[in-house]
Amino acid sequence: MRKAIEISLGLFFVFSLLLSCSEGKTKGDGDNQKINVIFDTDMGNDVDDALALDMLYKYLDQGRINLLGIATNKKSPYCVEYIDIMNTWYGYPDIPIGVVVDGTDMASEDIFVQTVCQMEKNGKPAFERSVKDYATLTTSVALYRKLLAAQEDNSVNIISVGFSTNLAQLLDSQGDEFSPLTGKELVAQKVRLLSAMMGHFQDENFSEFNVNCDIPAAQKVVDEWPTPIAASPFELGETILYPASSIENDFKWKEPNPLVEGYKAYMKMPYDRQTWDLTSVLYVIESDKGFFGESPAGTINIDDKGITRFTPDEKGKHKYLTVTDQQREQIKDYFIQLITQKPKKYQ
């Protein structure tokens, strides 16, 4: 009997060790196994960026991630200001923000972020800010290099839910005060995964928005990025809708709310919105939950019209995500459950 117990304990130890090693492959090796994340966003073009950022704050509240920084990949003053408002409102005012250089000018699309930034209450701004002077913020590439250089090897997950501008510039960057490595060398050493909302793999005539707004940058990233890439394509997020009924009913605990006000300003209510960007966040943080299927390993190619194509190749570093009807419902329910949680700051 004693021998049987010893064997069982031994098997348990081996299983625990294997589980620990497995988790080490999906999480950063620093700070109590929290997942290290850099969020790269074109905040303002669509409200799904704001919903995705809300998810990251909730994971911060749960102590599951380190949100190292937020890089903006579009040229827009309201994009940065809205992120500052969100950081402050959710209780994370010190998260650094990077500003894109030579980015696509999308200021004309900034309806919801501009609305929130200009909101007033009793003659004063409705939402607090933490950044005193946005002109003093570092560039996105400099922020990437500083953050990556300070992390352990193979520990950082980049979640890109906009244009590839910053990522392409990062690959081209040279050694600096943060690291003597080139950008490509730094990425290869420090990044575990690039989770990108990009492409369409079911329609060969469809030029997806994130790709189309900076095609040369997207081409460079899929051609030269040295670590694995998991693409969450247009056709996936298109079929999972966040319900307007939740926006209207589930956030009464603290008003005004910059997420809710942004959602209401983006389109005429009530409307259910696609969750493209949210899926890229979900894949990184909940990779063990079975929310997604995956293509076989392969290579993503992007032509000069912004059309994305996938070629299976067992040696390829790329894959794209898929979902079944059952997974769609599970993901939608999970999004609602997570996003409607009251932030730790207001508990």
CATH, residue 267:
3.90.245.10
Count Cα neighbours of 114 within 13 Å in the Cβ-side half-sphere.
9
Residue 63 above 80 pLDDT? yes
For residue 338, the model assigns a pLDDT of: 98
pLDDT tens digit sequence for 182-224: 999 999 999 999 999 999 999 989 999 999 999 999 999 999 9
DSSP reduced 3-state for 97 = strand
- Residue 221 domain flag: yes
How large is the average pLDDT for residues 318-326? Answer: 98
SS3 content of the chain, % helix, strand, coil (to 5): 45, 20, 35
- Residue 233 domain flag: yes
Q: What's the CA gap between 156 and 37, in Å, rounded? A: 6
- Residue 197 domain flag: yes
Residue with tokens 């209401």: 264
- Residue 28 domain flag: no
Task: Catalogue the E-assigned strands of the chain.
Answer: 35-41, 65-72, 74-75, 97-98, 104-105, 120-121, 124-125, 156-160, 191-197, 229-232, 241-242, 273-274, 293-294, 298-302, 308-312, 318-322
- Residue 114 domain flag: yes
Q: Which of 33, 34, 56 is nearest to 281 (CA)?
A: 56
How large is the average pLDDT for residues 132-148? Answer: 97
Residue 226 above 50 pLDDT? yes
How large is the average pLDDT for residues 113-135? Answer: 97
pLDDT tens digit sequence for 68-119: 999 999 999 899 999 999 999 999 999 999 999 999 988 778 999 999 999 9
Cα Rg of the chain, angstroms: 20
- Residues 144 and 170: beta-carbon distance below 8 Å: yes
Which residues constitute the domain of residue 238? Answer: 34-346
Number of separate domains in the chain: 1
For residue 285, the model assigns a pLDDT of: 98
For residue 16, the model assigns a pLDDT of: 37
Residue 44 above 80 pLDDT? yes
How large is the average pLDDT for residues 318-338? Answer: 98
- Residue 295 domain flag: yes
Q: What's the CA gap between 37 and 157, in Å, rounded? A: 5
- Residue 4 domain flag: no
- Residue 42 domain flag: yes
Q: What's the CA gap between 133 and 151, in Å, rounded? A: 27
23 CB neighbour count, 10 Å cutoff: 12
- pTM beyond 0.85: the answer is yes
Identity of residue 167? L
